[in-house]
């Protein structure tokens, strides 16, 4: 991508509006388009090595339950943190086996699907204060329990954030600054609207 942008005389960045399963999205080369987002960007640094677009995930939430709330996930004050690969070419949302199995075995109770919204806690660029990317619709409420109906079990290296995780956001990849920014998708982006936590 970097060579393509340079050869086209564009800045070393691109942004994506994912659209929906039936409505088209948009790819903006060389910058961002304010038409496709509302509010400010929440920005995270890429993690090295720069082989994928990766961000540091410090916790995962299902509804109001955090991974670190589940008994046995925190040992001697520490828990396993992972990274997420942000991949515009993947449809799925995925959690590592460790996180997936912990939530599946814990049994998060619910009344509606909103009680089961998945959230990735990501370390912000600069001040390092985490922000949460909400991913609605991938964990659903069935028989008063949250079930990962649209979440893949990804092995144990990293979480995966594909279309299902990005659809509520306008995502900006700055290859020069090595950051990824997430802003709420506007109505023009034709995505599911979701307020940040």
Phi, psi for 103 (deg, rounded to 5): -70, -40
Q: Looking at the chain, how many residues does it have? A: 197
Q: Containing domain of residue 185, as a range?
A: 2-189
Range with the poorest average pLDDT among 25-34, 35-44, 72-81: 72-81
Q: Is residue 153 part of a domain?
A: yes
What would the pLDDT profile of 99-112 be if each residue is shown by its tens digit?
888 888 788 999 99
- Asked whether 29 and 16 are in contact (CB, 8 A), the reply is no
| DSSP H or E stretch at residue 166 | helix 163-166
Q: Is residue 195 part of a domain?
A: no
What would the pLDDT profile of 137-165 be if each residue is shown by its tens digit?
899 999 999 988 889 888 878 889 988 88
Domain count, the chain: 1
Q: Give the other-Cβ count within 10 Å of 82's Cβ.
A: 21
Q: Is residue 65 part of a domain?
A: yes
Q: What CATH number is associated with residue 180?
A: 2.40.70.10
d(CA 156, CA 171): 25
Q: Is residue 157 part of a domain?
A: yes
Q: Is residue 55 part of a domain?
A: yes
Give the range with max mean pLDDT: 4-8, 28-32, 48-52, 87-91.
Answer: 28-32
Q: Is residue 130 part of a domain?
A: yes
Q: Is residue 176 part of a domain?
A: yes
Predicted TM-score (pTM) of the model is 0.86
Q: Is residue 197 part of a domain?
A: no
């Amino acid at each position: 991508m970097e060579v393509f942008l340079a050869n086209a005389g564009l800045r070393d960045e691109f942004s994506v509006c994912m659209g929906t399963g039936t409505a088209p999205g948009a790819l903006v080369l060389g910058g961002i388009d304010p038409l496709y987002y509302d509010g400010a960007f929440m920005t995270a640094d890429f993690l090295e090595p720069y082989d994928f677009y990766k961000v540091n995930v410090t916790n995962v939430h299902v509804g109001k339950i955090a991974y670190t709330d589940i008994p046995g996930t925190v040992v001697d004050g520490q828990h396993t943190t992972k990274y997420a690969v942000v991949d515009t070419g993947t449809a799925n949302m995925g959690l590592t086996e460790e996180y997936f199995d912990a939530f599946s075995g814990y049994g998060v109770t619910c009344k509606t699907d909103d009680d089961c919204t998945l959230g990735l806690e990501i370390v912000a660029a600069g001040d390092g204060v985490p922000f949460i990317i909400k991913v609605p619709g991938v964990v659903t409420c069935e028989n008063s329990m949250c079930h990962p109906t649209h979440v893949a079990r990804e092995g144990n290296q990293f979480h995966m954030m594909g279309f299902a995780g990005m659809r509520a956001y306008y995502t900006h990849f700055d290859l020069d600054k090595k950051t990824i920014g997430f802003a709420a998708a506007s109505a023009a982006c034709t995505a599911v609207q979701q307020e940040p936590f």
